[in-house]
Structure 1
C-alpha cells in the first residue's frame, strides 16, 4: 500500500509539492534514488524485479508517480505498472498524448493511479474511474483506491500537508510521512485483506518484519523549474537505511 499527498498550486512560488511513501515487501529488490545510467536525465529509485519505478523526475521538468489499486478479486496484469512511470520520464511527448497511449493499453495492467506532469500542468489517470484528468489547483491524496478516497491515512496526511503549506520545509514533509499511528478499527476500510492487515496498512508509515514503507520521498518544484527531491529508505521493521537528496536546475 502506498500513499501520495500533493499540493498543486499553479502560479505559486512552489507549484508542486509532493510527499509520498512507497510500501512494498522488503524481499523485493530495489535501488534508491539515483541518476539512471540507461536514461539520460532520469532520477528515480528502481524496482530491480521489473525494471520500473514508483516516483521520479525526468528531462524537461517531468514528474511522475504511481500507486497500485488494491483489489484482491482482480487477476494480475500482464505488464508491470512501474513501466508507466519510467516510460513517461524517458519520453519526449506531452502528458496528454502519453496518457492517451496508456489508455489504449490500460487493460494490460492491474489497477493503478498515474500522476504525471511538470510545473505547468498535472494529470491524473485511473482507468477504473474514467479518462485522464487535468487537475485544477488543490490539495490531493492518493493511496490504493481512487483519488481522494477518504481512508484515514489519506485524510490525516493530506491535512498535515495543508498545515505545512505556509512553510513547506522538506524535513517537515518527511515528518508527516513518518507517522506510524494506526487508525481506529471503526475507521478502517474493508478492502478484502482481513482486519489484521487493514490495521497494519492503516498508518501513514508502515513497519513490520516482512512488509512496510521502503521509501519516503519529498519533491518540491519551483516556479523557475528548479526541482528538489529527497528520499529516505527503510528496511524491515522501519530500520532507516539511508537518505539521498538532489537539486536539479531548470531545464
Structure 2
C-alpha cells in the first residue's frame, strides 16, 4: 500500500518513492483538508484573471513548500491538461461573442478564448493545491481526518478500502501477466491478443470479487459491524494557529478581489 497519496495513481514503481517531510506536513490534516476545500471554492467561483493568477502562483508556492517531486507533479498536471486541451480548443468556436479570428470558415470568439483560459488556470491551481495539501498525506490519515470532520462513514470506508486494495489488485494483475508471459504470450494487434486481454480483465474481476468476499467474511469473524473505531487523537498545534489565520486572510483577500 502506498504510504502517501502522492505516490499512487501513476505507476507501481512510483509507489516506492519516499516523501520528504516539509512544513506542510506539520499542519493538522483536518486543517489541510478544509483549507484545500475553501481554496478550490474561491478559485473556481472567481472570474477575475488576477485572482486566478494569484491562486495559481500560491498553489505553486505550496507545491514547493510541500517538497513535491517535480517530475511526477509535472506529469500529473500535463496528464490533466491533456484532457482539457480539446475543451480549450473548442470553446472559442462554440461561444458567441466578438470575433477574434477565423479558421476553416468557423469564427473564434474572444469571450470563448478567455473562458477557456480561465478554466485552464482554475484546474491547474486546484490540482496543485490538492497535491500539496492533501496528496502528501497517507491514505489512513486522510480517512481519519475526513471522519473527524464528520464526513459520512460510508464515504470514509469507501476511500480507505479503495486505496488499501488498489495495490492488492495491482499485485494480482502482475501475477496474471507474469503467468501469461511464462506461456510465451506477446502483445500484438490481432484477435488473439484482444481475446487474451479480455480474459485477463475478466479473471481479474472474478478474483477481485472472490477476494472481497473472503475479506468481508474475515472482518465479520473479527466483529466488524460496519463501523471503524478511530483510535488516534488529533489536536491543533502551534503550526495550525499560524496557518489558519494566514489562510483565512489570504482567502478573504482573494474573495475581496472578485468584487473590485
- TM-score for the superposition, normalised by structure 1: 0.24
Higher relative contact order (CA 8 A, sep 6+): 2
Larger Rg: 2
